[in-house]
Chain A
């Protein structure tokens, strides 16, 4: 424990040079943790032709960016990325390594952690620095990363600590950590590293890639009207769209409504969907499972409409309307149109 403490690292996910929001959010959180530990904030970005993409990483708080470029590293495949990361991690032994819990991050981080024999906690909703006394093994640790995540379908919140050798690795979903204001004058160092990628890591070929631009981005919505299983049918979901249209809002949904096939998965709010914090969230016919609440309970104002007065959604709502949404929604539209 007398060793010099390592830095805080962030894996920077990019697609065609565009940096993922979750990575910038993690740079902000990483900076906060690094300041607390009095160490540096460093990022690793892997791909090809990325020089143009790096400045925002400094603006959001990085001191140093490891830049690893090679034609072999574009497009993303997990094995060469894992090989590059494992080599770097072994060489520099950062204290903390943060990875976005995107599809890429969720297949890359475990592969890397397994190779490093490092603990990995998925989908953390909060990260703090604290001491840890391991009573079972009678050992105590200073300034460890508290990895806080919901588990058991969101019914419990667990605080997890990695007690083995650093790095302490976690993944975090997009939208969970807040982005701070960038400082456009901030500058940092770029450390270019020439990768050596083994033949064994190049055995998986991408034959074809079809990407469709995401049509919706619920995270940016100011007002969100969401429908759940209580909406009743796909036909009736029009009510949700009508209200959203009238209020200038976007449309979201609970998992139950998505599973029922009434609406696309990219509009799902909750633990396995998008985390949102609009200024107004209107939950229509959503009972409010813990998974759903985890994705919306930080909204500035929440209105819940449901026929069941005992529905858990009322526990997080600021305004509760117990009633049939087929009657309530038209009244809301009428009232709104009358006022503006």
Chain B
């Protein structure tokens, strides 16, 4: 069988570019108004996966856990060159913290079965925790190399990689399978026009059903036929629920999460007593004088 690697990605709200429309009159963020984007460092992980596909012939499987419309990041992965995609989706996964998330992802990886590498971005911009990578490696009982900048080589079931450390870098050697968390060092390839034309038609089962409107059992034959056609053309996005990946219901979602949110406060810009200084010689002169007087300067 062809050697495989799995890239785990996430669709996130774009917290880095919060536009005026996404702000409420109270000065807080209206989360629903934020566009959903591909988590930036996950694109670096896909790029690394595709580089390894080019170098070693890996089959690149991209998987994400999220609501049904998270399939969008999987289509984008196909546009870049992914071979197969999996949407892990189930209401039972909702409310998962990083521990419950990594458990669910580990169940997905076990369902895929054989893999040499698991790749993920270092962290997602909605939480910035960088926890899921190492936790997933622990759940799978495989070693981890975090903050990977470059894969030097893969040979004889071993990988050599360069990764950043505090104030420098390190070359590590680890046996396969291994999990790599990837930092923003490579240039993710743009989607290929030819692939967009082809894979924009890629669908999950949910999307196939909804494209038929309120499909009833009358359409079953037609749906199966269409599913088979999509599968044959490699336009099928797998949709796996908790049962499919053999996830223990006690360990996923809110139930499987040791951390509970006690309170959420929106950050509101506090009106401060800012002293307005004229951008003139006099205004700035007075300011500097004041700062020297109170020993802040000089």
A3 CB within 8 Å of chain B: no
A315 CB within 8 Å of chain B: yes
Please measure, in the bound complex, the distance between the C-alpha atom of A207 and the C-alpha atom of B273, giving whole angstroms: 56
B175 CB within 8 Å of chain A: yes
- Chain A nearest CB, measured from B77 CB (Å): 23
For chain B, residues 252 to 295, give those with C-beta under 8 angstroms from any C-beta of chain A. 254, 257-267, 269-281, 283-285, 287-289, 291-292
Pair A157/B264 contact, Cβ less than 8 Å: yes
Pair A103/B166 contact, Cβ less than 8 Å: yes
Pair B269/A312 contact, Cβ less than 8 Å: yes
For chain B, residues 1 to 29, give those with C-beta under 8 angstroms from any C-beta of chain A. 13, 15-16, 18, 28-29
B114 CB within 8 Å of chain A: no
Pair A319/B274 contact, Cβ less than 8 Å: yes
Please measure, in the bound complex, the distance between the C-alpha atom of A205 and the C-alpha atom of B126, giving whole angstroms: 33
B125 CB within 8 Å of chain A: yes
From A110, A134, A214, contact of B131 by CB (8 A): A110
- Chain A nearest CB, measured from B256 CB (Å): 9
Please measure, in the bound complex, the distance between the C-alpha atom of A326 and the C-alpha atom of B112, giving whole angstroms: 58
- Residues on the A chain within 8 Å of B169, using CB: 209-210
Q: A120-B98, A279-B296, A335-B284 are in contact. Are A208 and B145 (CB under 8 A)?
A: no
From A146, A213, A321, A334, contact of B277 by CB (8 A): A321
- Residues on the A chain within 8 Å of B171, using CB: 206-209
A231 CB within 8 Å of chain B: no
Please measure, in the bound complex, the distance between the C-alpha atom of A78 and the C-alpha atom of B147, giving whole angstroms: 13
Please measure, in the bound complex, the distance between the C-alpha atom of A300 and the C-alpha atom of B139, giving whole angstroms: 45
Q: Count A-B pairs with CB separation below 8 Å.
A: 252
The DSSP consensus for interface residues of chain A is mixed
Identify the interface centre among B254, B269, B289: most chain A CB within 10 Å of its CB.
Answer: B269
From A146, A315, A335, contact of B288 by CB (8 A): A335
Count, chain B residues at interface, CB 8 A? 80
| Complex: chain B residue closest to A288, CB-CB | B269
- Residues on the A chain within 8 Å of B31, using CB: 152
Please measure, in the bound complex, the distance between the C-alpha atom of A160 and the C-alpha atom of B181, giving whole angstroms: 25
A153 CB within 8 Å of chain B: yes
Pair B167/A212 contact, Cβ less than 8 Å: yes
- Chain A nearest CB, measured from B15 CB (Å): 3
- Residues on the B chain within 8 Å of A114, using CB: 99, 102, 134-135, 138-139
Pair A209/B291 contact, Cβ less than 8 Å: no
Count, chain A residues at interface, CB 8 A? 89
A331 CB within 8 Å of chain B: yes
| Complex: chain B residue closest to A15, CB-CB | B166
Stretch at the interface among A52-60, A62-70, A161-169: A161-169
- Chain A nearest CB, measured from B16 CB (Å): 6
Pair B281/A331 contact, Cβ less than 8 Å: yes
Pair A163/B289 contact, Cβ less than 8 Å: no
For chain B, residues 184 to 211, give those with C-beta under 8 angstroms from any C-beta of chain A. none
Q: A121-B259, A160-B261, A247-B297 are in contact. Are A323 and B279 (CB under 8 A)?
A: yes
Pair B173/A280 contact, Cβ less than 8 Å: no
A317 CB within 8 Å of chain B: yes
Q: List 6 A-B contacts (CB under 8 A).
A: A77-B172, A79-B143, A103-B166, A151-B126, A152-B126, A162-B260
- Which residues does A use to contact B, with CB under 8 Å? 15, 77-79, 82, 102-104, 106-111, 113-115, 117-123, 132, 134, 136, 146-147, 150-164, 203-214, 223, 247, 271-272, 279-280, 290, 300-301, 303-304, 312, 314-324, 327-328, 331-332, 334-336, 338-340
Apart from A304-B274, A315-B270, A323-B279, 17 more pairs, CB < 8 Å: A107-B130, A107-B133, A108-B134, A110-B138, A151-B126, A155-B15, A157-B264, A158-B263, A160-B260, A301-B291, A315-B271, A318-B273, A318-B275, A322-B276, A322-B279, A331-B279, A335-B288
